[in-house]
Structure 1
Amino acid sequence: MNAFDPAGPRLDAAALDARLRAAAPTEIIAAALDAFPGRVAAVSSFGTESAVLLHLIAQVDRATPVLFLDTGHLFPETLAYRDALADRLGLTGIVTFQPEARELAARDPESALWADDPDACCALRKVEPLARALAPYGAWINGRKRYQAATRTDIPVVEADGARVKFNPLAAMARPDLEGYMAAHDLPKHPLEAFGFASVGCMPCTTRVMPGEDPRAGRWRGRAKTECGIHIAEGI
């Protein structure tokens, strides 16, 4: 697949968002695939809530590319969950991306950048590999929801994302909606959820969540950081 041409025809993300605001998640996913035939990919962390989006994608098109970032710091349970869930849902388009080995050697030779500069670590291990992974695509689908954190309360269903368009088909879903969907379709949970991990990222920067905390409170706990950067970086 050739690289996406950012100077090519543009889609009016705001107009499409207005049309899809009340649409069902499968309708939003189908609209993304129709608007960008062969040029849309989903991005999944295979975290605690990922099964819902992936199951919905499988209902629309099991061959949809699903990009997964293996940062090198992930829990082994996450890697096992990726494989089990992909097999369970019959997803055939999963592609795993990793940081460039030369960049790791130059910028994080001791694999300790997460402790000294978590923003730089996320840039190296998440933002830059995702930019490379998304290079051929004009749009991407992700699993963010408005309820997850204060930084996400106003996310639209469709939004401009630099040169691309980003689809958020689960934006309006609340935690009870997700739990009900998981139960109704007998979807397996991430193994670490049983141990109090409501949101699972990289091992060094993920802790358990206490009762009453928002689901992402365990990410970068004690640091002035709430996002890894892939949803705020321009032009990826």
Structure 2
Amino acid sequence: MSKFNIKNIELLNSQEKNDILSELNLLISNYSTEERISWALRNLPCTHVMSSSFGIQSVVLLHLIITQKPDIPVILIDTGYLFPQTYNFIDFLMKKFNLNLQIFRSKISPAWQEARYGQLWTKGIKGINFYNSINKVQPMNFALKNLSVQTWFAGLRRDQSKSRKLLSFLSIQKRVFKVLPILDWSNDKIAEYLKINNLDIHPLSKEGYSSIGDIHTTSKHISGMLEEETRFFGLKRECGLHENEI
């Protein structure tokens, strides 16, 4: 199958675009994860990148992709409020795998944000959304533009939250192709891959965390909680990076 051009697809009407995406999703749904990545690298346009939060299970997709494309740019959105263990974990993996890490941040420093707006994450859903816009969405939009991204790999999985149940392996978001190779993986499959490949897991996994984001909006997983309830005080799951897919 020939390479796809995002510009050509954008010229189609909504129904035509959806028909193509549906056909491609049906195709790659029958592939193994490694085959999905290989297909995307061959058929979807460069520049290819992946994003990583370097959270609890992030090393799985990282390992899967760099096995096939070792020099792929890895986008990290640094809010300035990650856990110290996360920063140390990033340093460890960057050295271990010689990652092509590309770090992007808000133009407004955390201290300056607090001086202007106070602690936005304490101000309900509106404050959280504004915080995410400044610290995550805007830096990611800049990263995609700065790196001339046309294909974006990410590690979302359907069983992580209700908001991810209906996601597709391939979509168009922010005018780039978005590929979710491990979308159908379970926690058990994640654990098996980690064990088979002897991969290091985020140190906070041993302290009761099932999902990791910023230090002030992440809580430990308590028995009976859904994983998504450990983020943003249970008010929402998504930080904005993976919303508004079309």
TM-score (norm. length: structure 1): 0.88
| 1:111-164 per-position Cα deviation (integer Å, ceiling 9, x unaligned) | 612222011000100011001111111120000001111111121111122422
Report SS of the residue matched to 1:199.
Answer: coil
Q: Contact conserved, 1:14 with 1:159, CA < 8 A, in 2? A: no
Shift of 1:66: 0.7
Are 1:189 and 2:197 counterparts?
no
Q: In structure 1, how many angstroms separate the alpha carbons of the residues matched to 2:166 and 2:115?
A: 35
Report SS of the residue matched to 2:8.
Answer: coil
Q: Which residue of 2 aligns with 1:3?
A: none
Shift of 1:211: 2.1
Greater helix content:
2
Within the candidate set 53, 57, 74, 1:45 is matched to 53
What 5-or-longer segments of structure 1 have no aligned partner? 1-5
Q: In structure 2, how many angstroms separate the alpha carbons of the residues matched to 1:187 and 1:17?
A: 29
AA of the residue aligned to 1:114 = W
- Deviates most, 207-216 or 47-56: 207-216
Are 1:213 and 2:225 counterparts?
yes
Shift of 1:37: 4.4
Q: Which residue of 1 aligns with 2:236?
A: 225
Q: Which residue of 2 aligns with 1:77?
A: 85
> What are the residue-to-residue correspondences of 1:121-200 with 2, within 5 Å?
121-135=131-145, 136-200=148-212
- Deviates most, 150-159 or 168-177: 150-159
Q: In structure 1, how many angstroms separate the alpha carbons of the residues matched to 2:113 and 2:82?
A: 20
1:7/1:215 CA distance change after superposition, 3 Å: closer
Instruction: Provide the aligned length of Structure 1 versus Structure 2.
Output: 228
Percent of paired sites with the same residue: 27
AA of the residue aligned to 1:125 = N
What 5-or-longer segments of structure 2 have no aligned partner? 11-19
Q: Which residue of 1 aligns with 2:97?
A: 89
Q: In structure 2, how many angstroms separate the alpha carbons of the residues matched to 1:14 and 1:27?
A: 18
Q: In structure 1, how many angstroms separate the alpha carbons of the residues matched to 2:90 and 2:109?
A: 26
Q: What stretches of structure 1 move > 6 A for 4+ residues in a row?
A: none
> What are the residue-to-residue correspondences of 1:4-15 with 2, within 5 Å?
8-10=7-9, 12-15=20-23
Find the structure with the greater CA-based Rg: 2
Shift of 1:215: 2.2
CA RMSD of the aligned region, Å?
A: 2.3
Q: In structure 2, how many angstroms separate the alpha carbons of the residues matched to 1:188 and 1:90?
A: 15
Shift of 1:95: 0.5
Q: In structure 2, how many angstroms separate the alpha carbons of the residues matched to 1:145 and 1:64?
A: 21
